[in-house]
Amino acid sequence: MVEQLDSLALEFKEKIKNLKGEAEVLNLKSEFLGKKGKVSEILKGLRNCTPEERKVVGPKANKLKDDIGDLVSLKLQEFELVQINQKLEENKIDLNNRESFWFNKNKSGGIHPRSMIQREIEDVFLSMGFEVLDGPHIEDEFHNFEALNIPGDHPARDMQDTFWFNDPDSPEGKKHLLRTHTSTIQVRGMRERTPPFRFIAPGTVFRCERTDASHEMVFNQLEGMMVGENISVGNLIYFMKTLLKEIFKRDTEVRLRPGFFPFVEPGFELDIQCLICSGKGCSVCKKTGWVELLPCGIVHPNVLKSGGIDPEKYNGFAFGLGLDRLVMMRYGIDDIRHLNSGDLRFNTQFSAF
Q: Which is nearer to ligand FA5, 203 or 297 (CB)?
A: 297
How many Cβ atoms from other residues are within 10 Å of residue 7's Cβ? Answer: 10
Q: Which is nearer to ligand FA5, 71 or 221 (CB)?
A: 221
Binding residue for ligand FA5, selected from 75, 193, 325, 338, defined by CB under 6 A: 325
Question: What DSSP string describes 253-276?
Answer: -EEEEE---TTEEEEEEEEEE-TT
Q: Do the Cβ atoms of 38 and 31 come closer than 8 Å?
A: yes
User: Under rule CB under 6 A, which residues in 263-282 are in contact with ligand FA5?
Assistant: 264, 267
Q: Do the Cβ atoms of 291 and 274 come closer than 8 Å?
A: yes
Integer angstrom CA distances of residue 315 from 79, 309, 322: 72, 9, 24
User: Under rule CB under 6 A, which residues in 69-108 are in contact with ligand FA5?
Assistant: none
Integer angstrom CA distances of residue 27 from 17, 34, 39, 297, 317: 14, 9, 14, 73, 75
Stretch that binds ligand FA5, among 54-62, 133-141, 165-173, 261-269 (CB under 6 A): 261-269
Q: Closest-CB residue for ligand FA5? A: 322
Side chain identity, residue 185: I
Give least dist CB 325 to ligand FA5, A.
4
User: Under rule CB under 6 A, which residues in 176-235 are in contact with ligand FA5?
Assistant: 181, 183, 207, 209, 215-216, 219, 221
CA-based angle 240:142:136, to the nearest 5? Answer: 65
319 binds ligand FA5 (CB under 6 A): yes
12 binds ligand FA5 (CB under 6 A): no
Stretch that binds ligand FA5, among 68-76, 95-103, 281-289, 294-302 (CB under 6 A): 294-302
29 binds ligand FA5 (CB under 6 A): no
User: Under rule CB under 6 A, which residues in 118-177 are in contact with ligand FA5?
Assistant: none
Stretch that binds ligand FA5, among 15-23, 115-123, 149-157, 287-295 (CB under 6 A): 287-295
302 binds ligand FA5 (CB under 6 A): no
Binding residue for ligand FA5, selected from 146, 246, 292, 335, defined by CB under 6 A: 292
State how far the Cα of 330 lies from the Cα of 220, in Å rounded to an integer: 15
State how far the Cα of 324 lies from the Cα of 347, in Å rounded to an integer: 14
Side chain identity, residue 128: M
Query: DSSP letter at 98?
Result: G
**Residue ranges that bind ligand FA5, judged by CB under 6 A:** 181, 183, 207, 209, 215-216, 219, 221, 261, 264, 267, 292-293, 295-297, 318-320, 322, 324-325, 336
